[in-house]
Amino acid sequence: MTFEWLNYHHLLYFHLVVREGGIVPAAKILRLSHSTVSGQIRQLEESLGVPLFDRSGRRLVLTETGHLVHRYASEIFGLGREMMTALRGHAVERPALRVGLSSAIPKLVGLVLLEPALQLGLRLVCAEDHFERLIGRLATHDLDVVLTDAPLPAASGVKAYNHPLGESDVSFFATAALARRLRRGFPKSLDQAPLIVPTSDATLRRVLDPWLERHGLEPSIVAEVQDSALAKAFASAGHGVLAAPTLIATHVRRRYDLHVFGRVRELRERFYAVSTERRVRLPGVVAICEHARVALRPLEAASGADEARRPSRRR
């Protein structure tokens, strides 16, 4: 078996050049000449067989491969620092997983999807934003993965890959008193009922509106809310009915005292992990994907069955 040796001195010089923003400041830290550091970087590129920088005059701009190598270099030298800290008996900072959460994903769904990474002992760095902005950060390797309710379009121009996690049907939630009233005759009972809906850019809204129209239902829209936690707070205060993935039914009941009074299996909300890896290798992303694919459907079914058996009553 052939063993390919990586010169870690060269990798360290490259890491410092990126971290410090150029060869000159990195050379000062290393106490080496500029030409020596530049030569070591060239040797690293030759050994890897790929350019790490695009050279534009005096500016060095990382190539796509350069971004990838720098991410691994940061992890390698970060582990080295952790080892030295551990040997000195100090607390060790957990390795980080940088996750983008599309603002269209309910917070509780994000919790369910991210729990496996927490169980691995990773430190989660979570950014919530619009899908397009998160994908831009993914493309520059500022994020490791983006969790979303819609796949990355093929024409996006970003070299990234969709990893389906699973799907959930949709349930309707309300306070105990309102749920008792609307359970009878569902879904016809939704007609003229107060309804809290996501904003028009959310996938759930785009499937909910046609479903209501097909059934001839005209609920009274009391609020269009982008923040899913705020929508649940409105519903918990008795201002209206909430539609959300059945996946989180148990969490919604426990945290917001909201009860399922109807479940629509034809309404589906799907979830995806988007990453720059065709085949995910980062342990945290692997854990998220594997757990979601195994647990999503059973958890959905269990949540719905649990709600169906539990009578609604005022606490």
Using an 8 Å Cβ cutoff, are 170 and 243 in contact?
yes
Q: Does residue 2 register a pLDDT over 70? A: no
Please give the pLDDT value at position 123.
85
Element holding 173 (H helix, E strand): strand 161-174
| CATH 1.10.10.10 boundaries in the chain | 8-87
Could you read off the pLDDT of 86-99 as tens digits, one per residue?
Answer: 666 655 556 788 99
| DSSP at 153 | P
Parallel, antiparallel, or unpaired for β 259-275 and 145-148? antiparallel
What is the pLDDT at residue 247?
A: 87
Say which amino acid occupies 275: S
Which residues have CB under 8 Å from 230's CB, separation 6+?
Answer: none
Using one digit for the tens of pLDDT, what is the confidence trace for 13-56?
Answer: 888 888 888 888 888 888 888 888 888 888 888 888 888 888 76
Where are the domain boundaries for CATH 3.40.190.290 in the chain?
167-269+300-309
Residue 109 confidence (pLDDT): 87
Cut 0.85: pTM above it: no
CA distances from 199 to 103, 172, 208, 231, 282 (A): 11, 17, 11, 11, 33
Counting Cα atoms < 13 Å in the Cβ hemisphere of 154 gives: 0
As a whole number, mean pLDDT of residues 156-169 equals: 88
Domain spanning 167-269+300-309: CATH 3.40.50.2000: no
Where does the pLDDT of residue 306 fall: very low under 50, low under 70, confident under 90, or very high at 90 and above? very low
The span from the CA of 8 to the CA of 12, in Å, is: 6
- The answer for residues whose C-beta is within 8 angstroms of residue 133's C-beta and 6 or more apart is none
Evaluate if residue 308 carries a pLDDT over 70. Answer: no
State pLDDT tens for residues 112-129: 889 888 888 888 899 998
Tell me the C-alpha distance between 237 and 127, whole Å.
28
State the pLDDT at residue 85: 64
* Ranges 13-27, 170-184, 294-308: which has the least confidence: 294-308
Q: What is the pLDDT of residue 90?
A: 58
Single out the residue of 107, 133, 114, 137 nearest to residue 275, CA to CA.
137
What pLDDT shows up at residue 263?
A: 95
pLDDT tens-digit series, residues 64-88: 888 888 888 887 887 777 677 666 6
pLDDT for the residue 86: 65
As its CATH architecture, domain 8-87 has Orthogonal Bundle (1.10)
Write the pLDDT tens digit of every residue in 180-220.
Answer: 999 999 999 999 999 999 988 888 999 999 999 999 999 99
DSSP annotation of 22 reads S
The string of pLDDT tens digits covering residues 233-282 is 999 999 999 999 998 899 899 999 999 999 999 999 889 999 988 888 88
